[in-house]
Structures are given as structure tokens and as C-alpha cells.
Amino acid sequence: MVLAQVGDPDPRPARVGDLDPGEVRRRLRGPGLRWASGPFHIHLHAPVPELERPLLTLYGSHPLLSPPWEEIADFHIRLDRGRGLRRWYRPQVFFRASGSTFFSILAPFPLDHAFPLFEWGLNLCIAARANQFLILHSGVMARGDQAVLLSGTPGSGKSTLCAALALRGWRLLSDEFALLRPADGRLQPVVRPVALKNASIPVIRAFAPGAVLGPVYPNTRKGTVTHLQPSPASVAAALETARPLAMISPRFQAGAALAWHSLSPRDGFIHLARNAFNYEVQGAQGFRAIRRLVAECALLELTYGDLEEAVTAIDARMSALAAGGRAA
């Protein structure tokens, strides 16, 4: 671990990547590994060696929790190996949050899929419990203080676009959640690895050969999966909110020409409400939050068949919007 020098007025917080593999293993097996992802404090106990390498690679820039925060966590998570015969024959791993089995659909997974299980389980924890936010199923990318929501159905290319924009210098807020603060309409980052599936993996490797990807997990419940390491700059800015500038509903079609279409406020509202995890829980507050988002954002659909062309088009469109407002 990197220690601050005596007299250092602003020591850099210790990060997950400052730990050596042996210390990560000791913490996972003993008191637990504790770190911050945006506004959330995570406490992970997992005597599972399959987690050590991807945690160091993909969460290396995330700050470790230090006193007095190390005893406080939003999510207390355990990953445990199966017992009995399943400890040795086709070994399994179970996900639990706050001491109980959480969403039985996640349990059990094959032991070598422990990291995807952790990521999907943490997604469910946030979706179910972070009701201080209106939670939209959307990627969020930003330049400076201005953010674009990438909101689409599975297979639309949302995470691939998030990864590509991040690799072109955009700030990653999330590839999974838009955490909208109802009080002021700003977006809260929750910076974590970007999940890439199936055909998007070779696409991103060709798009950015130097991209840092974690292990590849074949034959998961979502096909072949890997994760893109978030940039240290995005992690360092994980408490800096952003103002939504546009909502883009992307749609990838192989061989399609790039095309923009505007959404009406009505269609934009329906799209966002349908893709909110807790719209009903938020009630009138959720209605007002989406109404404000629709009023303040450009609402667009983007059809594309080439990733590089789509990234260039989003860059140009967001620059025009930032310079000239919604009329752009």
C-alpha cells in the first residue's frame, strides 16, 4: 500500500491497486475488502481465489475505505463456494447480500464465473436499494459537466458505445445506471467496469487494441463476457455529478447507414419511464424527475452500423448541443 509522506498536505487515497495479491486474498478471506464506487461503499467477503485477479485489474483505481468509513457499507456482500460434493465436482459459488441469499436467480454460478456473478449481483443491489435516486437503465458518459444518457434495450449496443466513448476520452459515469438526483436533476456517477458481451468484445479490441480488459468468461448466462477497466480519471471524478444534455436511444444494425431521428417529449418520457427500475417506487417525485429530464434534454434516436462513425457522430452532435442548445 502507498503511504503518504509526513507533512504531505493532500495524500492520495489508498487504492485497491496499491494492495499486493496476497493482501487482497487475506482481506477477502478475513475482514473483507472495502472500497468506494461512486456514492456507494462496498464490503466484499469472498474466500474465492477466482476474484483476486479481476478485482485488482478492474477496480485497481478505486479508493479503499479508511477510518471512520471502513466500518460503514451500503452493500455487505459475500461470495461463498458451494458445499459438499459441489465444492469439488463442478464447483459452484453463491452470492449473498447483507447475510441472506439475494435474488435466487443468481445462485449458484459456476465457480469460475465468480466475477460476473459479483458484478451482476452488485447491479441488483443498486437497482433494488438505491432509491434515493431515480434509477434509469442507461449508460451515462460526460465531457466536463455535460452528460449524455445512452438508453436502450439489451443488444442495442449501449455498453459498446459507452466503452468506445470512454476509450476516446469521455468520462464514464456508468454503462448500466443513470442515477438521477430528483432534487436537482443531476446525474451521479457510479464508476465500475464496463461489461462487454459476445460480438462487442472483438469489436472493442479492434477499436482500441490497447484497451485493458479483464478475463474472458465463456458460456455465462449472457454468453461470453469480459469487462473494460474504467480510466483512473473517471474513477477520480466519481463524486462529480453532471448535467444531462441529451438522451440517445442507440440501435445497432449491421451494415446500416448512420441516421439520427428526434423523439417527441411524449415518446421520450415513455421510453425513460419504461427503462426506470424504481419509477413506481418514486411515485410523483419520479414523474417530476423524468418530466424535467425530458424538458431539459435533446431526445434522439441513433441508428448505426459502424462504431467509429457512431462515436464521431455523437462527438459532433454533443458539441453542437453544448454550443447551441437543444436546437442543434
- Nearest Cα residue to 273 out of 293, 301, 255: 293
Direct distance between the N- and C-terminal alpha carbons of the chain, in angstroms, rounded to an integer: 49
* Helix, coil or strand: residue 20: coil
Q: Considering the entire predicted model, what is its pTM?
A: 0.91
**Chain mean position to CA 170:** 14
Please, what sign has the CA dihedral across residues 123, 159, 235, 118? positive
What SS3 state is found at 27? helix
Mean pLDDT of 116-133: 95
Q: What is the pLDDT of residue 1?
A: 34
pLDDT confidence of residue 180:
98
Burial annotation 254-270 (CB, 10 A radius, 16+ → b, else e): eeeeeeeeebeeeebbe
Rounded to an integer, what distance in angstroms lies between the CA atom of residue 263 and that of residue 271? 10
Q: Which residue has the cell 500500500?
A: 1
Residue 239, phi then psi, degrees to nearest 5: -110, 5
pLDDT in tens, 14-49: 999 999 999 999 999 999 999 999 999 999 999 999
Q: What is the pLDDT of residue 325?
A: 56
> Residue 10 has what DSSP assignment?
S
Amino acid at position 101, single letter: T
Whether the predicted pLDDT of 11 surpasses 90: no
| CA dihedral angle for residue 265, residue 271, residue 276, residue 278, rounded to 10 degrees | 70
For the chain, helix, strand, coil in percent to 5 are 35, 30, 35
Please name the residues in contact with 204: beta carbons below 8 A apart, sequence gap of 6 or more: 160, 163, 164, 167, 196, 211, 213, 228
What's the number of CA atoms in the CB half-sphere (13 Å) around residue 92? 11
How much is the pLDDT for 313? 97
62 C-beta neighbours (distance < 10 Å), count = 24
Radius of gyration of the chain from Cα atoms? Answer: 20
| pLDDT tens-digit readout, 253-271 | 988 999 999 999 999 999 9
Q: Which amino acid is at 220?
A: T
Beta-carbon contacts of residue 42 (< 8 Å; ≥ 6 apart): 34, 35, 36, 73, 74, 75, 77, 122
Q: Residue 292 CB: number of other CB atoms within 10 A?
A: 15
Tens digit of pLDDT for each residue in 125-158? 999 999 999 999 999 999 999 999 999 877 778 9
Mean pLDDT estimate for the chain:
90
Sign of the CA dihedral with 113 first, then 119, 122, and 127 last: negative
